[in-house]
Structure 1
Amino acid sequence: MRMPFPEPGPSADVPALFLTYLDYYRDTVADRVARLTDAQARGSRLPSGWTPVELVNHLTFMERRWFVWGFLGEPVPDPWGDHADDRWHVDPAERVDDVLAALRRGGQRTREIVTGHPLDSPAALGGRFTDPARRPTLAAILFHVLQEYARHAGHLDVARELIDGRTGE
Protein backbone atom coordinates (compact mmCIF):
# COMPACT_ATOMS: atom_id res chain seq x y z
CA MET A 1 0.00 0.00 0.00
CA ARG A 2 1.24 3.46 -0.91
CA MET A 3 2.16 5.99 1.73
CA PRO A 4 -0.46 8.69 2.32
CA PHE A 5 0.55 12.23 1.42
CA PRO A 6 2.44 13.63 4.42
CA GLU A 7 0.33 16.48 5.71
CA PRO A 8 2.23 19.28 7.44
CA GLY A 9 2.00 19.17 11.20
CA PRO A 10 3.53 20.68 14.31
CA SER A 11 6.89 18.90 13.96
CA ALA A 12 10.04 21.00 14.20
CA ASP A 13 12.18 18.00 13.25
CA VAL A 14 13.31 19.33 9.87
CA PRO A 15 15.45 16.32 8.87
CA ALA A 16 12.48 14.02 9.58
CA LEU A 17 10.21 16.25 7.48
CA PHE A 18 12.61 16.15 4.54
CA LEU A 19 12.96 12.38 4.81
CA THR A 20 9.20 11.85 5.09
CA TYR A 21 8.57 13.84 1.91
CA LEU A 22 11.47 12.19 0.09
CA ASP A 23 10.12 8.76 1.05
CA TYR A 24 6.67 9.77 -0.13
CA TYR A 25 7.87 10.95 -3.54
CA ARG A 26 10.23 7.99 -3.95
CA ASP A 27 7.28 5.69 -3.19
CA THR A 28 5.13 7.63 -5.67
CA VAL A 29 7.74 7.24 -8.40
CA ALA A 30 8.03 3.49 -7.75
CA ASP A 31 4.24 3.16 -7.70
CA ARG A 32 3.88 4.88 -11.11
CA VAL A 33 6.21 2.31 -12.69
CA ALA A 34 5.04 -0.75 -10.76
CA ARG A 35 2.72 -3.06 -12.63
CA LEU A 36 3.67 -1.66 -16.03
CA THR A 37 4.66 -4.31 -18.52
CA ASP A 38 8.31 -4.32 -19.53
CA ALA A 39 7.34 -2.82 -22.89
CA GLN A 40 5.36 -0.03 -21.19
CA ALA A 41 8.17 0.76 -18.74
CA ARG A 42 10.74 0.85 -21.55
CA GLY A 43 8.58 2.61 -24.13
CA SER A 44 7.94 6.32 -24.46
CA ARG A 45 4.72 8.16 -25.18
CA LEU A 46 6.44 11.54 -25.06
CA PRO A 47 8.06 13.61 -27.83
CA SER A 48 11.27 13.92 -25.78
CA GLY A 49 11.57 10.12 -25.80
CA TRP A 50 12.34 9.36 -22.16
CA THR A 51 10.86 6.20 -20.67
CA PRO A 52 9.51 5.54 -17.16
CA VAL A 53 12.34 3.17 -16.30
CA GLU A 54 14.92 5.69 -17.53
CA LEU A 55 13.44 8.34 -15.26
CA VAL A 56 13.58 5.99 -12.25
CA ASN A 57 17.20 5.17 -13.07
CA HIS A 58 17.96 8.88 -13.39
CA LEU A 59 16.51 9.54 -9.92
CA THR A 60 18.61 6.74 -8.41
CA PHE A 61 21.80 8.13 -9.91
CA MET A 62 20.83 11.73 -9.08
CA GLU A 63 20.25 10.89 -5.42
CA ARG A 64 23.59 9.06 -5.21
CA ARG A 65 25.40 11.93 -6.98
CA TRP A 66 24.12 14.43 -4.43
CA PHE A 67 24.36 12.45 -1.19
CA VAL A 68 27.13 9.87 -1.59
CA TRP A 69 29.48 11.45 -4.13
CA GLY A 70 28.42 15.01 -3.30
CA PHE A 71 27.76 15.34 0.40
CA LEU A 72 29.99 12.52 1.68
CA GLY A 73 32.62 12.92 -1.03
CA GLU A 74 32.83 9.15 -1.51
CA PRO A 75 33.91 7.85 -4.90
CA VAL A 76 31.09 6.22 -6.83
CA PRO A 77 31.40 4.17 -10.00
CA ASP A 78 30.19 6.06 -13.05
CA PRO A 79 28.31 8.91 -11.30
CA TRP A 80 26.72 9.94 -14.61
CA GLY A 81 25.85 6.36 -15.64
CA ASP A 82 22.20 7.32 -16.11
CA HIS A 83 23.17 9.39 -19.16
CA ALA A 84 24.24 8.24 -22.61
CA ASP A 85 24.28 10.34 -25.76
CA ASP A 86 22.80 13.35 -23.90
CA ARG A 87 19.73 11.49 -22.66
CA TRP A 88 18.73 9.19 -19.82
CA HIS A 89 19.72 5.58 -20.23
CA VAL A 90 19.10 2.14 -18.73
CA ASP A 91 21.03 -0.94 -19.76
CA PRO A 92 18.58 -3.12 -21.73
CA ALA A 93 19.72 -6.14 -19.70
CA GLU A 94 18.67 -4.47 -16.44
CA ARG A 95 15.27 -5.61 -15.18
CA VAL A 96 12.70 -2.99 -14.20
CA ASP A 97 12.35 -4.61 -10.76
CA ASP A 98 16.12 -4.24 -10.26
CA VAL A 99 15.95 -0.53 -11.16
CA LEU A 100 13.14 -0.07 -8.62
CA ALA A 101 15.10 -1.99 -5.97
CA ALA A 102 18.13 0.26 -6.58
CA LEU A 103 15.89 3.32 -6.09
CA ARG A 104 14.77 1.97 -2.70
CA ARG A 105 18.32 1.07 -1.63
CA GLY A 106 19.41 4.59 -2.51
CA GLY A 107 16.65 5.93 -0.29
CA GLN A 108 17.91 3.84 2.63
CA ARG A 109 21.42 5.21 2.12
CA THR A 110 20.06 8.76 2.01
CA ARG A 111 18.22 8.17 5.29
CA GLU A 112 21.46 6.94 6.93
CA ILE A 113 23.36 10.00 5.69
CA VAL A 114 20.72 12.52 6.75
CA THR A 115 20.17 11.04 10.20
CA GLY A 116 23.93 10.98 10.78
CA HIS A 117 24.72 14.63 10.04
CA PRO A 118 23.44 18.08 11.03
CA LEU A 119 21.63 19.94 8.23
CA ASP A 120 24.12 22.80 8.32
CA SER A 121 27.04 20.46 7.56
CA PRO A 122 28.83 21.42 4.35
CA ALA A 123 29.45 18.83 1.65
CA ALA A 124 32.84 17.16 1.74
CA LEU A 125 35.54 18.29 -0.63
CA GLY A 126 37.02 15.89 -3.14
CA GLY A 127 33.97 14.18 -4.53
CA ARG A 128 31.50 16.17 -6.55
CA PHE A 129 32.64 19.42 -4.95
CA THR A 130 36.15 20.81 -5.05
CA ASP A 131 35.64 24.50 -4.26
CA PRO A 132 35.17 25.17 -0.52
CA ALA A 133 33.23 28.35 -1.25
CA ARG A 134 30.68 26.61 -3.49
CA ARG A 135 29.93 23.40 -1.62
CA PRO A 136 26.32 23.17 -0.45
CA THR A 137 25.07 22.22 2.99
CA LEU A 138 23.14 19.04 3.63
CA ALA A 139 19.96 21.15 3.93
CA ALA A 140 20.50 22.66 0.46
CA ILE A 141 21.13 19.21 -1.01
CA LEU A 142 18.00 17.82 0.65
CA PHE A 143 15.92 20.67 -0.73
CA HIS A 144 17.32 20.16 -4.24
CA VAL A 145 16.75 16.40 -4.23
CA LEU A 146 13.23 16.79 -2.85
CA GLN A 147 12.23 19.22 -5.60
CA GLU A 148 13.75 16.92 -8.21
CA TYR A 149 11.70 13.98 -6.93
CA ALA A 150 8.48 16.03 -6.78
CA ARG A 151 8.97 17.36 -10.32
CA HIS A 152 9.72 13.94 -11.78
CA ALA A 153 6.85 12.29 -9.89
CA GLY A 154 4.59 14.72 -11.74
CA HIS A 155 6.23 13.79 -15.02
CA LEU A 156 5.53 10.13 -14.28
CA ASP A 157 1.91 10.95 -13.46
CA VAL A 158 1.49 12.31 -16.99
CA ALA A 159 3.43 9.46 -18.60
CA ARG A 160 1.39 6.86 -16.75
CA GLU A 161 -1.88 8.50 -17.78
CA LEU A 162 -0.72 8.43 -21.40
CA ILE A 163 0.28 4.77 -21.11
CA ASP A 164 -2.84 3.28 -19.57
CA GLY A 165 -5.12 6.04 -18.32
CA ARG A 166 -4.15 5.65 -14.64
CA THR A 167 -4.02 9.02 -12.95
CA GLY A 168 -2.12 10.20 -9.90
CA GLU A 169 -3.39 12.65 -7.34
Structure 2
Amino acid sequence: MQQPSQEEPALLDGPAVGVSDTRGLLLGYLDWYRKALMRKLAGLPDDVLRAPVDPMGWSPLGLVQHLGWVERRWLRWGFGAVDVVAHPPGGDAAEWTVAAGTPTAQVIADYQAEVAASNSLLATAGLSDKARLGGRFKTPDQAPTLSRILFHLLQEYARHVGHVDIARELIDGETGE
Protein backbone atom coordinates (compact mmCIF):
# COMPACT_ATOMS: atom_id res chain seq x y z
CA MET A 1 0.00 0.00 0.00
CA GLN A 2 1.41 3.34 -1.05
CA GLN A 3 1.51 6.13 1.55
CA PRO A 4 0.71 9.68 0.43
CA SER A 5 3.76 11.93 0.44
CA GLN A 6 1.87 14.77 2.08
CA GLU A 7 -1.26 15.22 4.13
CA GLU A 8 -4.41 14.42 2.17
CA PRO A 9 -6.56 17.51 1.48
CA ALA A 10 -9.95 17.61 3.13
CA LEU A 11 -12.70 16.15 0.96
CA LEU A 12 -15.17 18.77 2.18
CA ASP A 13 -14.80 22.25 3.58
CA GLY A 14 -16.81 23.38 6.55
CA PRO A 15 -17.91 21.23 9.48
CA ALA A 16 -16.87 17.60 9.87
CA VAL A 17 -18.35 15.13 7.39
CA GLY A 18 -20.44 13.54 10.15
CA VAL A 19 -22.33 16.77 10.87
CA SER A 20 -25.74 16.51 9.25
CA ASP A 21 -28.17 18.41 11.45
CA THR A 22 -29.20 21.83 10.17
CA ARG A 23 -27.97 23.77 13.20
CA GLY A 24 -24.59 22.05 13.12
CA LEU A 25 -24.23 22.71 9.39
CA LEU A 26 -25.22 26.38 9.58
CA LEU A 27 -23.04 27.19 12.58
CA GLY A 28 -20.22 24.97 11.31
CA TYR A 29 -20.09 26.71 7.96
CA LEU A 30 -20.32 30.14 9.57
CA ASP A 31 -17.34 29.26 11.74
CA TRP A 32 -15.49 27.85 8.72
CA TYR A 33 -15.99 31.05 6.72
CA ARG A 34 -14.85 33.20 9.63
CA LYS A 35 -11.65 31.17 9.87
CA ALA A 36 -11.25 31.14 6.07
CA LEU A 37 -11.29 34.94 6.11
CA MET A 38 -8.37 35.00 8.54
CA ARG A 39 -6.48 32.25 6.66
CA LYS A 40 -6.73 34.15 3.42
CA LEU A 41 -5.23 37.28 4.98
CA ALA A 42 -2.42 35.46 6.77
CA GLY A 43 1.05 36.51 5.75
CA LEU A 44 0.11 39.88 4.27
CA PRO A 45 2.17 42.72 5.68
CA ASP A 46 0.39 45.58 7.43
CA ASP A 47 0.81 48.07 4.58
CA VAL A 48 -0.75 45.62 2.12
CA LEU A 49 -3.62 44.76 4.49
CA ARG A 50 -4.42 48.48 4.70
CA ALA A 51 -4.00 49.41 1.02
CA PRO A 52 -7.06 49.50 -1.26
CA VAL A 53 -6.89 46.76 -3.90
CA ASP A 54 -7.26 48.09 -7.43
CA PRO A 55 -9.82 47.94 -9.04
CA MET A 56 -11.94 46.98 -6.02
CA GLY A 57 -11.36 50.12 -4.01
CA TRP A 58 -11.34 48.48 -0.56
CA SER A 59 -8.52 47.07 1.53
CA PRO A 60 -8.43 43.53 2.92
CA LEU A 61 -8.49 44.99 6.44
CA GLY A 62 -11.45 47.18 5.47
CA LEU A 63 -13.35 44.05 4.49
CA VAL A 64 -12.63 42.53 7.93
CA GLN A 65 -13.95 45.71 9.53
CA HIS A 66 -17.07 45.55 7.32
CA LEU A 67 -17.75 41.93 8.34
CA GLY A 68 -17.50 42.94 12.00
CA TRP A 69 -20.27 45.45 11.37
CA VAL A 70 -22.26 42.80 9.47
CA GLU A 71 -22.03 40.45 12.47
CA ARG A 72 -23.15 43.26 14.77
CA ARG A 73 -26.07 44.35 12.58
CA TRP A 74 -27.48 40.91 11.91
CA LEU A 75 -26.91 39.16 15.21
CA ARG A 76 -26.58 41.61 18.09
CA TRP A 77 -28.78 44.42 16.78
CA GLY A 78 -30.91 42.28 14.47
CA PHE A 79 -31.52 38.95 16.15
CA GLY A 80 -30.85 40.00 19.75
CA ALA A 81 -32.26 43.56 19.56
CA VAL A 82 -29.26 44.68 21.61
CA ASP A 83 -28.95 48.46 21.88
CA VAL A 84 -25.72 48.93 19.91
CA VAL A 85 -24.59 51.31 17.21
CA ALA A 86 -25.50 49.43 14.04
CA HIS A 87 -23.68 51.62 11.49
CA PRO A 88 -20.52 53.64 11.94
CA PRO A 89 -20.79 57.42 11.76
CA GLY A 90 -19.83 58.19 8.18
CA GLY A 91 -21.83 55.37 6.59
CA ASP A 92 -20.45 52.87 4.10
CA ALA A 93 -17.20 54.73 3.54
CA ALA A 94 -16.41 54.59 7.28
CA GLU A 95 -17.45 50.95 7.47
CA TRP A 96 -15.03 49.90 4.72
CA THR A 97 -12.17 52.32 5.41
CA VAL A 98 -9.82 51.74 8.32
CA ALA A 99 -8.80 55.04 9.90
CA ALA A 100 -5.09 55.77 9.57
CA GLY A 101 -4.52 55.76 13.34
CA THR A 102 -6.34 52.49 13.98
CA PRO A 103 -3.88 49.63 14.50
CA THR A 104 -4.43 46.47 12.46
CA ALA A 105 -4.50 44.42 15.66
CA GLN A 106 -7.39 46.57 16.90
CA VAL A 107 -9.46 45.96 13.75
CA ILE A 108 -8.88 42.21 14.09
CA ALA A 109 -9.67 42.31 17.83
CA ASP A 110 -12.88 44.28 17.19
CA TYR A 111 -13.93 41.74 14.55
CA GLN A 112 -13.18 38.84 16.90
CA ALA A 113 -15.14 40.55 19.69
CA GLU A 114 -18.18 40.78 17.39
CA VAL A 115 -17.81 37.10 16.50
CA ALA A 116 -17.62 36.22 20.21
CA ALA A 117 -20.73 38.31 20.95
CA SER A 118 -22.53 36.61 18.05
CA ASN A 119 -21.52 33.17 19.29
CA SER A 120 -22.81 34.04 22.75
CA LEU A 121 -26.24 34.88 21.31
CA LEU A 122 -26.22 31.76 19.14
CA ALA A 123 -25.31 29.39 21.96
CA THR A 124 -28.82 29.17 23.38
CA ALA A 125 -30.98 30.21 20.44
CA GLY A 126 -33.03 27.83 18.35
CA LEU A 127 -33.16 28.03 14.56
CA SER A 128 -36.90 28.71 14.64
CA ASP A 129 -36.54 31.52 17.20
CA LYS A 130 -37.62 34.85 15.76
CA ALA A 131 -35.52 37.97 16.09
CA ARG A 132 -36.40 40.05 19.12
CA LEU A 133 -38.22 43.27 18.43
CA GLY A 134 -36.77 46.71 19.01
CA GLY A 135 -33.42 46.55 17.26
CA ARG A 136 -33.34 46.11 13.51
CA PHE A 137 -36.87 44.68 13.41
CA LYS A 138 -39.77 46.71 14.76
CA THR A 139 -42.79 44.46 14.15
CA PRO A 140 -43.43 40.71 14.36
CA ASP A 141 -44.02 40.60 10.60
CA GLN A 142 -40.50 41.96 9.98
CA ALA A 143 -38.70 39.61 12.38
CA PRO A 144 -37.03 36.67 10.63
CA THR A 145 -36.06 33.41 12.26
CA LEU A 146 -32.49 32.71 13.28
CA SER A 147 -32.18 30.19 10.45
CA ARG A 148 -33.04 32.92 7.92
CA ILE A 149 -30.46 35.27 9.46
CA LEU A 150 -27.81 32.54 9.41
CA PHE A 151 -28.52 31.82 5.74
CA HIS A 152 -28.06 35.53 5.04
CA LEU A 153 -24.77 35.61 6.96
CA LEU A 154 -23.50 32.54 5.10
CA GLN A 155 -24.13 34.10 1.70
CA GLU A 156 -22.53 37.35 2.88
CA TYR A 157 -19.43 35.52 4.10
CA ALA A 158 -19.24 33.29 1.01
CA ARG A 159 -19.35 36.33 -1.24
CA HIS A 160 -16.80 38.32 0.74
CA VAL A 161 -14.39 35.42 1.29
CA GLY A 162 -14.53 35.00 -2.50
CA HIS A 163 -13.71 38.68 -2.84
CA VAL A 164 -10.68 38.15 -0.59
CA ASP A 165 -9.58 35.29 -2.87
CA ILE A 166 -9.65 37.66 -5.83
CA ALA A 167 -7.91 40.43 -3.89
CA ARG A 168 -5.20 38.07 -2.70
CA GLU A 169 -4.58 36.81 -6.22
CA LEU A 170 -4.28 40.40 -7.44
CA ILE A 171 -1.94 41.29 -4.56
CA ASP A 172 0.53 38.41 -4.66
CA GLY A 173 -0.80 35.58 -6.81
CA GLU A 174 -1.92 33.43 -3.84
CA THR A 175 -5.07 31.44 -4.53
CA GLY A 176 -7.45 29.84 -2.08
CA GLU A 177 -9.34 26.60 -1.86
TM-score tier, shorter chain, comes to 0.7 to 0.9
Which of 94, 100, 104 is the aligned partner of 1:92?
A: 100
Q: Which residue does 1:28 correspond to in 2?
A: 36
SS in 2 for 1:73: coil
- Decide which of 22, 28, 31 is 1:14's aligned counterpart: 22
* 1:112-157, Cα deviation, whole Å (9 max, x unpaired): 2222111111111110111221111100000100110111001001
**TM-score, structure 1 as length reference:** 0.88
Does the aligned pair in 2 maintain the 1:121–1:138 contact within 8 Å?
yes
Q: Supply the RMSD in Å over aligned alpha carbons.
A: 2.0
Mapping for residues 28-107 of structure 1, pairs under 5 Å:
28-77=36-85, 79-81=86-88, 83-85=91-93, 88-107=96-115
Larger Rg: 2
Aligned residues: 165
Q: TM-score, normalised by structure 2?
A: 0.84
Unaligned runs of 5+ in 1: none
Q: Offset of 1:75 from its aligned partner?
A: 0.9
Give me the whole-angstrom Cα distance separating, in 2, the residues matched to 1:12 and 1:167: 29
Does structure 1 retain, via aligned residues, the 8 Å contact 2:129–2:145?
A: yes
Secondary structure of 1:28's aligned partner: helix
**Native 8 Å contact 2:87 2:95 kept in 1:** no
Q: Structure 2 unaligned segments of length 5 or more: list them.
A: 1-9
Shift of 1:10: 4.6
